[in-house]
Structure 1
Amino acid sequence: MPPAGPQRTLAAAQLASAVGDGAYYTCSALYFTRVVGMSATALGVGLAVAWALGSLAGVPLGHLADRRGPRRAAVALALGTAVVVAGFLVIRSYGLFLLAVCLYATAQSGLTAARQALVAGLVPREERTGLLAHLQSTLNGGLAVGAAIGGIALTLGTRTAYLGAFTVTAIGLLAGALVLRRLPEVPPAAPESGTGPRLAVLRDRRYAAVTLVNTVLLLRMPLLSLVLPLWIAERAPGIGWLGSALFVLNTVAVLAFQVRAARGVTGLDSAVKAVRSAGVLLLASCAVCGLSALDVPVWAVAALLTAAAVLQVAGEMRQSAGSWQLGFDLAPPERIGQYQGFFGTGVAVARTLGPLLLTTLLLDGGLAGWLVLGGVFLTAGYAMGPVARWAASDRRTAPAPAVAASRG
């Protein structure tokens, strides 16, 4: 548990929302295809459009959090997301579905940026990465609980069961918004002077370069959820259950060890070191996974993929800790919201382009494809150092904003 006070309140809000998210992520695809009758292609196009729009909305909504106060923005966006999910209970047409998922993705992207701005406003600089590690661990725990609830709905397979899972999602988001209201009010950033652009992050090439390198490392995200299950189905269909087992392994490992993995990441140098070690670990994971393409027994395939998953989650936790620190330290304190909104677009890009790039490279490329991907990870891990220092050389860091004493 994080320390008592605002940090623990943020974790409680994260837990409530994550339970709802876990139920939604587990059930939504099958609900819209099996119950509503939507084709898989139509669903995929709708989700791609929604998350592309959501990634673009992160910057202006983060800017709104800077100008109006991150707590107010986070509460409003959490409530808005809950309303959108509640709308899924009555949606029957594709047009309304597309509108709803676009609003959902937009609100979620803005909510992430606003929460990050809350962390910056409530927690001293040297404690932020540690808190984000706690929040990541809490997120995984909540997603696991929500996924279990969604699993019940999937087992029952009825429309009522699916709608019950969506109701849990809406309630979780609503509860998260109510918990956020207990936080101290963070004052809005001071009005910007001069004639510079309002969305300054869009012209910050150095921060964009850091975000790009981090996005390359985030291509690890589709590996566990998409590539490995397909890889197993193609090469060892008799152990198809292993894909789910590796996903559970990842979830439990992050829940148990993310806080420990983030210890010692408190500044630029330690963050760069963490990202560099992540590149090495991800290369090792890819190499071990690629060995399963060779002519080996099924038990050896299972052992190799398990070892690769362990190396991947170790790299994931180190990369997460380093990127959190860099994302905050390289952003101007008065523009944390919009900069975090921009930094967060890396997740949407990795989730959108990753499946297309990685399925082609790895499923067809075998061992060579895995080694190429590992080399990309290693290169990005080592590139982060000079890129981050280049960005820091032009950043004069101001003190973190003071925390207001009033409560809403």
Structure 2
Amino acid sequence: MAKTKTQTATPAPHTRTRTHRALLAAQLSNSVGDGAFYVTSALYFSRIVGLSAPQIGAGLAVAWGIGSLAGVPLGHLADRRGPRGSAVLLALATSAAVASFLLIRSFVPFLLAAALYATAQSGLAAARQALLAGLVEPGARVGMLARLQATLNAGLAVGAALGGLALSLGTRRAYLAVFALDALGFLVCALLLRGLPPLPGAPAASGDEPRLVVLRDRPYAVLTLLNALLLLRLPLLSLALPLWIVQRTSAPGWTVSALFVLNTGAVMLFQVRAARSVTGLPEATRAVGRSGLVMLASCAVFALTAVGLGPWPTVAVLVLGAVLQVVAEMRHSAGSWQIGFALAPADRIGQYQGFYGTGVPLARTLGPLLVTTLLIGWGVPGWLVLGAVFLVAGLVTGPAVRWAEHVRSRAAAPAAGELVKAN
């Protein structure tokens, strides 16, 4: 019996434009609050709530571990029940999780709230990807994702500025205002998503087929792992590089924020342009492969700052490394989006994107320990080892994509033969 697959509708131009604007507005609404939350949350939990640094680190690691496991079943739920309704509910759950941080006074409630937050965020990411797949035609998805990424970075930058204001005040009320802003942002996000066209859920799998079929898709699992390795750039920019600059170089401390602004601004301005050339799997694999090469060059440039160049030459070298890093980031993002969507069955976008998206919480959970051990512990050799990891992950992506295409073509051949016989 042939399976029914969900199809992407082709809406009228004015409807398509309105849908795209709603998706961008929803992204902006929660990213402003997230930006403020990211720069203030750790200090709130330590200074106001009174948690120790190990408690905060362990709690977030456990929470994101739970969230990464929840992404696949929640993505599967979005496939079955419809991505719009699932995304709305998960946005509301995220808002409730953020609001619950206002009430915590000890470690156990913090752990529970953080686990709810990470779970809802992981599920929301998968549901939004499934929603985008249903509302945006395949040829326009990477471009739309690039616009969403640019909007995300713009919102994070605005939110970070608001969070900085709260940090300068340093009062409990200022911190709570940040959490309230983030919770409100997800409420607005839910309302905007609620206004999008409804999409039907895909039919359930037949009795002899596993529900979470992505867990048996070995090529896709390999690609997810490679993507997670390439996402080690996330803790590199937010944690390891700031520690490296302060502890191992003569650059002034403000260089840390300058490099963050450079990265955020570059993504806002150039991510859409960087994604235009990625129109299919061949272009995507080349983009990811080249991103690994550029990340190796970036790591080598960063390693040069350990030789004692003096403050201003060190700043110049750091800027060069940061430019190479953001170029690699934009190319990797565009290529990985195309790979993640193109190799996912049309009726299982949610669970496949939920699985592919585990690379982000995995990089956030294990990445800080890995990159700080390599870079702060090993120094220059650690930079070169990390660069080699990026290079290998980027280059191996091509053969892994071809393996996935081969497996899918073999699986499609018997189904095509059965259809011919039936006709």
TM-score, normalised on structure 2?
A: 0.91
- Give the whole-Å Cα distance in 2 for the aligned partners of 1:272 and 1:78: 32
- Give the whole-Å Cα distance in 2 for the aligned partners of 1:375 and 1:276: 12
Task: Provide structure 1 residue ranges, at least 5 long, that are not aligned to the other structure.
Answer: 399-408
Residue in 2 that maps onto 1:371:
384
Q: Is the 8 A contact 1:332 1:395 kept in 2?
A: no
1:307 Cα deviation from its structure 2 partner: 0.3
Give 1:94's match in structure 2, choosing from 104, 107, 119.
107
- Give the whole-Å Cα distance in 1 for the aligned partners of 2:120 and 2:139: 29
Secondary structure in 2 aligned to 1:185?
Answer: coil
1:283 Cα deviation from its structure 2 partner: 1.0
1:368 Cα deviation from its structure 2 partner: 2.2
The number of residue pairs the alignment matches comes to 397
1:300 Cα deviation from its structure 2 partner: 1.7
Residue in 1 that maps onto 2:312:
299
Residues 9-408 of structure 1 aligned to structure 2 (within 5 Å): 9-236=22-249, 239-395=252-408
- Give the whole-Å Cα distance in 2 for the aligned partners of 1:220 and 1:87: 30
Secondary structure in 1 aligned to 2:219?
Answer: helix
Q: Is the 8 A contact 2:35 2:158 kept in 1?
A: yes
Q: Is the 8 A contact 1:222 1:355 kept in 2?
A: yes
Q: Is the 8 A contact 2:36 2:182 kept in 1?
A: yes
Q: Is the 8 A contact 1:54 1:105 kept in 2?
A: yes
Give 4+ residue runs of structure 1 displaced > 6 Å after superposition. none
1:110 Cα deviation from its structure 2 partner: 0.2
Secondary structure in 1 aligned to 2:277?
Answer: coil
Amino acid at match of 1:132: L
1:364 Cα deviation from its structure 2 partner: 2.9
Amino acid at match of 1:101: A
1:190 Cα deviation from its structure 2 partner: 2.1
Q: Quick one: percent identity of the two aligned structures? A: 63
More displaced stretch, 359-368 vs 133-142: 359-368
- Give the whole-Å Cα distance in 2 for the aligned partners of 1:115 and 1:197: 23
Q: Deviations over 1:175-222 (max 9, x none)?
A: 011001111001111222241110111111110011111111111111
Q: Deviations over 1:284-314 (max 9, x none)?
A: 1011111111132222211111100000000
TM-score, normalised on structure 1?
A: 0.95
Amino acid at match of 1:172: G
- Give the whole-Å Cα distance in 2 for the aligned partners of 1:103 and 1:366: 37
Q: Deviations over 1:101-140 (max 9, x none)?
A: 1000000000000000011111111111100000000000
- Give the whole-Å Cα distance in 2 for the aligned partners of 1:61 and 1:122: 19
- Give the whole-Å Cα distance in 2 for the aligned partners of 1:4 and 1:23: 29
Amino acid at match of 1:64: L
Amino acid at match of 1:356: L
- Give the whole-Å Cα distance in 1 for the aligned partners of 2:167 and 2:402: 48
Task: Provide structure 2 residue ranges, at least 5 long, that are not aligned to the other structure.
Answer: 1-14, 413-423
Secondary structure in 2 aligned to 1:239?
Answer: coil
Amino acid at match of 1:57: A
Q: Is the 8 A contact 2:250 2:311 kept in 1?
A: no
Secondary structure in 2 aligned to 1:308?
Answer: helix
